């Protein structure tokens, strides 16, 4: 779905490794946050982590899955 694969369909399940809107919503509920807050947290956490681990963000990865 669009949150990770770019198809533009945020609610469409696609495989086991993609993240749907519902996944983000469920994480938000579990943490007592809104979906918008959760998406901001994901972005800010990734931005901070990127500073220490740039090599993990600047290339495609092989997971060995499928």
Task: Render each residue's pLDDT in the chain as its tens digit; 66 residues.
Answer: 467 878 888 888 877 778 889 999 999 999 999 999 999 999 999 999 999 999 888 888 887 775
Q: How far is CA 44 from the centre of its chain?
A: 12
pTM, whole model, 2 decimals? 0.77
First and final CA of the chain: distance in angstroms?
17
Give the count of beta carbons closer than 10 Å to the beta carbon of residue 1.
20
Per-residue burial over 29-65, b = 16 or more CB atoms within 10 Å of its CB, e = otherwise: eeeeeeeeebbeeeeeeeeeeeeeeeeeeeeeeeeee
Q: What is the pLDDT of residue 1?
A: 46
Cα 28 to Cα 37: distance, rounded to the nearest angstrom: 8
Return the domain boundaries, the chain.
1-58
């Amino acid at each position: 779905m669009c949150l990770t694969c770019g198809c533009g369909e945020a609610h469409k399940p696609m495989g086991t490794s993609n993240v749907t809107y519902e996944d983000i919503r469920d994480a938000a509920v579990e943490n007592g946050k809104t979906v918008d807050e959760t998406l901001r947290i994901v972005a800010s956490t990734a931005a901070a982590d990127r500073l220490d681990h740039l090599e993990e963000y600047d290339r495609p990865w092989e997971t060995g899955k499928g």
